[in-house]
């Protein structure tokens, strides 16, 4: 894998060694990458075994680079968790990633490997949880602890530069950095790199179950091998325009703080992500993890 740390400043010369290394690839690289992706995508997902998936992704990531996004205070994230009627989460441990023994396979993790999932907005998390009328849930807002920073990779930035001329989150400084790096590459290498990014974001954007999760979790696991990288931002499958976060547990423990929480019930589902809910809270959460001090539920709580 070829990648480096990020820098939102104007000096992008640190990207030059990455470009030089990528430009050493053989003239057949574009066709080789294209053939590899086409062969993988033409195989039914349920027939893809884990060794082949891992070998393919490991090979493709060599022809790829990232410019991580630095998360810092007051960046915020959201998470929705279904809950039982009349149950209020009593402790902040309920708001983090699950323990190893309770972790099932997901879009960005293997079974038994916890990861903290969050969304870019309440609406995105509602859609990801597929809320229905009558559902009870807790909605939590999180932020980066004051003074903390960590790095996330926005999947699809390179592909977005090719298709739209801007990054996924439309950050001009990142667009300048990617343009600088891409302009240093041979034409065939540039397209090969863009195809790898398009492949990664395509697979993370597909609906599917356990078979597809083997592919997507393998992509995320390969990217998160980078010591400096703490998580991935990728498009929401259920909410167009929304984004999901998959963040390493140690990063959550060190750098992420739950801000407030509310208990809610879906009273009406109007479609297209429009809901009417009853809400209890929000309750502010102190910096020190511990018990959540809820007021009593009202007598007319549905």
Residue among 255, 258, 70 nearest 144 (CA): 255
Say what the pLDDT of residue 9 is. Answer: 54
The confidence score (pLDDT) of residue 287 equals 62
- How do 256-271 and 274-284 pair as beta strands? antiparallel
List the domain boundaries for the chain: 13-69+156-224
Burial class (CB in 10 A: 0-12, 13-18, 19+), 67: buried
The alpha-carbon radius of gyration of the chain (Å, integer) is: 21
26 Cβ contact list (under 8 Å, min separation 6): 32
Instruction: Summarize pLDDT for 125-177 with one digit per residue, the tens.
Output: 999 999 999 999 999 999 999 999 999 999 999 999 999 989 998 888 889 99
pLDDT at 299: 82
Whole-number Å distance between alpha carbons of 197 and 37: 11
Say which residue, 212 or 285, is predicted with more confidence: 212
């Amino acid at each position: 894998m070829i990648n480096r740390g990020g820098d939102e400043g104007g000096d992008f010369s640190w990207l030059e060694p990455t470009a030089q290394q990528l430009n050493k690839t053989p003239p057949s690289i574009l066709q080789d990458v294209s053939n590899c992706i086409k062969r993988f995508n033409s195989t039914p997902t349920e027939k893809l075994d884990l060794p082949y998936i891992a070998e393919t992704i490991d090979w493709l990531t060599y022809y790829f680079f990232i410019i991580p996004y630095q998360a810092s205070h007051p960046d915020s994230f959201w998470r929705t968790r279904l809950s039982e009627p009349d149950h209020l989460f009593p402790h902040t441990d309920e708001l983090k990633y699950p323990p190893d023994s309770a972790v099932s396979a997901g879009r960005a993790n293997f079974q038994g490997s916890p990861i903290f999932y969050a969304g870019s907005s309440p609406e995105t998390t509602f859609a990801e949880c597929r809320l229905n009328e009558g559902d009870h849930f807790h909605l939590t807002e999180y932020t980066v602890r004051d003074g903390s920073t960590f790095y996330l990779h926005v999947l699809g930035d390179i592909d977005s530069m090719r298709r739209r001329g801007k990054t996924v989150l439309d950050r001009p400084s990142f667009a300048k950095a990617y343009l600088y790096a891409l302009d240093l590459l041979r034409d065939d290498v540039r397209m090969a790199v863009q195809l790898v990014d398009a492949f990664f974001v395509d697979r993370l954007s597909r609906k599917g179950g356990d078979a597809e999760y083997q592919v997507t979790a393998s992509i995320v696991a390969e990217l998160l091998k980078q010591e400096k990288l703490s998580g991935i931002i990728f498009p929401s499958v259920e909410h167009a325009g929304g984004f999901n976060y998959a963040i390493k547990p140690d990063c959550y423990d060190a750098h992420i703080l739950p801000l407030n929480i509310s208990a809610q019930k879906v009273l009406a589902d109007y479609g297209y992500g429009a809901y009417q809910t009853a809400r209890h809270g929000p309750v502010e959460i102190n910096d020190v993890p511990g018990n959540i001090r809820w007021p009593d539920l009202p007598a007319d709580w549905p």
